[in-house]
Amino acid sequence: MSLIVQKYGGSSLSDADSIKRVARRIVDTRKAGNSVCVVVSAMGDTTDELLDLASEVSPAPPEREMDMLLTAGERMSMALVSMAIANLGDSARSFTGSQAGVITDDTHGKARIIDVTPGRIQGALDAGHIVIVAGFQGVSQGTKEITTLGRGGSDTTAVALAAALGADVCEIYTDVDGIFTADPRIVPTARKVDRISNEEMQEMAASGAKVLMLRCVEYARRFDLPIHVRSSFSQHQGTWVVPPSDSEGDQMEAPIIAGVAHDRSEAKITVVGVADSPGKAAQVFNAVAAAQINIDMIVQNVSAAQTGKTDISFTCPKDDAQRAVQTLQAAKPEIGFDSLQFDDQIGKLSLVGSGMRSHPGVSATLFQALADAGINIEMISTSEIRVSVVTRDDQLDEAVRAVHSAFGLDSTEGEAVVYGGTGR
Amino acid sequence: MSLIVQKYGGSSLSDADSIKRVARRIVDTRKAGNSVCVVVSAMGDTTDELLDLASEVSPAPPEREMDMLLTAGERMSMALVSMAIANLGDSARSFTGSQAGVITDDTHGKARIIDVTPGRIQGALDAGHIVIVAGFQGVSQGTKEITTLGRGGSDTTAVALAAALGADVCEIYTDVDGIFTADPRIVPTARKVDRISNEEMQEMAASGAKVLMLRCVEYARRFDLPIHVRSSFSQHQGTWVVPPSDSEGDQMEAPIIAGVAHDRSEAKITVVGVADSPGKAAQVFNAVAAAQINIDMIVQNVSAAQTGKTDISFTCPKDDAQRAVQTLQAAKPEIGFDSLQFDDQIGKLSLVGSGMRSHPGVSATLFQALADAGINIEMISTSEIRVSVVTRDDQLDEAVRAVHSAFGLDSTEGEAVVYGGTGR
């Protein structure tokens, strides 16, 4: 008997009918001879409605109370899913994050899971029940406060429970058929990927692919847990996210490229006219790090010999960019530079594939494809299985299509499936 | 510094504006130098909406999951009230029933409170916070399952917490100004009572008065806890429900009568032609008791000498009446009687007042008032501080007005205030 953890997002639980449909799918999985533990998000619009109510009573609600409020959403959906399962003649027990043993730190609104003690849900599974767990929530160690996990929290709950229970697979149900070689809204010829390694998925998620959140992929990779991303609206196989050996071992030649991700969430800041002397870059990035801002790409131009000065550019989340500028401006006397340039009209394209390790020339093909399309490259960064470039924002879509095509990823079937967000 | 426990019902928390109004009142109480612990019900229509959702996914939802679902309602209102308080510059912490230490038995849907361990909320009060607690809910001893307390549950939560915390008073906020000498919808000249003893209130609640539920009054009486029933829509003093010494000691002559309650929730069953021999009544009521049906009034007519047979009538909740008839029918061979009569067109009037202990003639005045109004009395029962009579349902309103007037309870101000339900 296999143990399967399933996660259903809010778009799969939008109303009573969809809850009944999800319940049918859960019961079918159980009837096929599996133990089933299900993680649910809040129903469709519930979270937005709760946020609206909160903003009506307070412009800046305390985070502790916001977590108390929002966790009511999963409480409702898990009880309703359990009822719908009971109505199909099977037996379900719902548990809050706290009851399920999801132990977090005490950072309200974006808590990290630090332990899972699934004794109660293991007991319910052993007793033959289907277990329904509230995603997105936990209880803080020590202080026993209710916390929420922030974006991607329900996926992370599912993967964390799957790891703690020793599940055979974690199925993430969403409103798309799986992981695609690119966002089908931009590349209509994008293909669904049948299998992808978790390290590739991690690079894709870190580079802007939105179907799975980075933290959930990281968690699954740490525990070698297979994830099956699939649609709750069809019975099709989706995409398996698996350890590298599983994704490559059974194929004579693994595909070089897994997909093309894109990201519009970053801005570029350039520190102009820094002295080209040892320790200056460290001063710049120490200042930014002290403000708790995550840097993505960094480029330092070659020094102009006449002046002894250089320019340092970096990208960071748009939401943090103004704060980064203020931080650097405050440190100007200490660091010493001419000026700061701020640019939020950029886009990032990332080509991801573990096959590029053994295939030289991937970067050259990428740059040639962009040159042929008349697209200028502003920054470049690489990892072992990824090449990323920054372009103008308004050229990014065209860049994604050009690269997708240049690496032979276009589907001959021309199927266009709309790509969705993750909800939580 | 006093410790005040306040309870706000759903009608006082119908939307964001009423939540802000309640928050203002709570903060004012705190600013007056009191420690404040607040118990809240679910917002206005939330419970009905959740019940609708449940009925859409299942015609007969499991009680455990129903409790899980419904408890989301108080979770939302307590978080929103806390946010509104924070927005006024004060500090509030919300706690679920489980977090507040409301320990119950494991009867889902109508659990009884068996212990209160208020360590966490005492700690929050000691730290200077206003504490907001979810009413109507608890956690079962041993099994740690989420339970709800059933009708009047939030009032009972408030009284139980007030007793456990050693509060000075429990204020029950509702949508009426207090306890009235009769239901103002029936008796427009009914007067608000300033003080009433808890034993009188207990008889009133048991006799159909709906502002306070019986179980809450019983709880307060057991712990000698004063309750102040008042409106959340005005600043008026409401009605103090206090131990008998407090309600009578400071007055030279306590009023004889506290009020007139009425009740349309009962039906009458008559067992016709029972043998007039020892043990027959015991057989009848043992059978009914075995079916877990609560009996209210009992009348046995004088035996007709010729036949050696008698009739036994009793009243019980209408909801249980059909079951009582079936139970007796099944026991007919064993008990031996001619037939069963069933009547759900009855009403009960109860006159309550601790003053009647020392004032003979109260019953005579009552019967005369009904006779003058042309109303027939079908059954009579009395306790030390109560006289109840059963009349035809369609004569009950007129009976209440006649008795209210005969005992001099009519207000000379003629103020008509609409009487509300309790919600939960």
Give the pLDDT confidence score for residue B281 in this predicted structure. 86
Give the pLDDT confidence score for residue A279 in this predicted structure. 85
Cβ-based contacts of A58 with chain B (< 8 Å): 83-84, 86-87
* HEC-encoded secondary structure of A101-117: CEEECCCCCCCCEEEEC
Residues 6+ apart with CB under 8 A from A303: A276, A309, A310
Give the pLDDT confidence score for residue A98 in this predicted structure. 97
Q: Report how far residue A109's alpha carbon sits from residue A332's, in angstroms, rounded to the nearest whole number.
A: 33
Mean pLDDT across chain A: 91
Give the pLDDT confidence score for residue B292 in this predicted structure. 86
With an 8 Å Cβ cutoff, are A60 and B20 in contact? no
Region class of B279: left (phi > 0), else alpha (psi between -120 and 50), else beta: left
With an 8 Å Cβ cutoff, are A86 and B53 in contact? no
Residue in A61, A71, A82 closest to B83 by CB: A61
Positions of chain A with pLDDT lower than 50, given as ranges: 250, 252, 414-424
Helix (H, G, I), strand (E, B) or coil at A55: helix
Tokens representing residue A316 in the block: 């960071």
**Torsional sign, CA A110, A116, A119, A121:** positive
Give the pLDDT confidence score for residue B111 in this predicted structure. 94
Report yes or no: B373 at the A interface, CB cutoff 8 Å.
no
- Give the B window 4-43 contacts with A, CB below 8 Å: 16, 19-20, 23
Q: Tell me the pairing of strands B3-8 and A113-116.
A: unpaired
With an 8 Å Cβ cutoff, are B65 and A19 in contact? no
> How many C-beta atoms lie closer than 10 Å to residue B277's C-beta?
12
Q: Report how far residue B351's alpha carbon sits from residue B207's, in angstroms, rounded to the nearest whole number.
A: 9
Give the pLDDT confidence score for residue A253 in this predicted structure. 53
- Give the A window 352-371 contacts with B, CB below 8 Å: none
A259 neighbors A409 (Cβ within 8 angstroms): yes
Q: Each residue of A335-388: pLDDT tens digit? A: 999 999 999 999 999 999 988 888 878 999 999 999 999 999 999 988 889 999
B159 neighbors B219 (Cβ within 8 angstroms): yes
Q: Report how far residue A392's alpha carbon sits from residue B290's, in angstroms, rounded to the nearest whole number.
A: 81
Per-residue pLDDT of chain B (424 residues; tens, 9 = 90+): 899 999 999 999 999 999 999 999 999 999 999 999 999 999 988 999 999 999 999 999 999 999 999 999 999 999 999 999 999 999 999 999 999 999 999 999 999 999 999 999 999 999 999 999 999 999 999 899 999 998 889 999 999 999 999 999 999 999 899 999 999 999 999 999 999 999 999 999 999 998 898 899 999 999 999 999 999 999 999 999 999 876 555 454 557 899 999 999 999 999 999 988 888 888 999 999 888 888 899 888 766 667 788 899 999 999 999 999 999 999 999 999 999 999 999 999 999 998 888 887 899 999 999 999 999 999 998 888 999 999 999 999 999 999 999 999 998 764 443 333 333 4
A50 CA to chain B: closest CA distance, Å?
A: 8
- Distance of alpha carbon B389 from the chain centroid: 20
Cβ-based contacts of B38 with chain A (< 8 Å): none
Residue A270, class by beta-carbon neighbours within 10 Å (0-12 exposed, 13-18 middle, 19+ buried)?
middle
Residues 6+ apart with CB under 8 A from A245: none
Residues 6+ apart with CB under 8 A from B175: B9, B11, B12, B231, B232, B233, B420
Report yes or no: B50 at the A interface, CB cutoff 8 Å.
yes
Give the pLDDT confidence score for residue A423 in this predicted structure. 38
Residue in B65, B72, B92 closest to A82 by CB: B65
Give the pLDDT confidence score for residue B358 in this predicted structure. 80
Report yes or no: A117 at the B interface, CB cutoff 8 Å.
no
Say whether the ipTM exceeds 0.90.
no
Residues 6+ apart with CB under 8 A from B325: B269, B340, B342
Mean pLDDT across chain B: 91
The pTM score is: 0.86
- What number of CA atoms fall less than 13 Å from residue A94's CA on the CB side? 29
**Torsional sign, CA A183, A186, A188, A189:** negative
With an 8 Å Cβ cutoff, are B19 and A87 in contact? no
- Distance of alpha carbon B81 from the chain centroid: 25
Structural domains of chain B in order of their starting residue, each with its CATH number: 3-250 (3.40.1160.10)
Which residue is it, tokens 């998925």?
Answer: A201
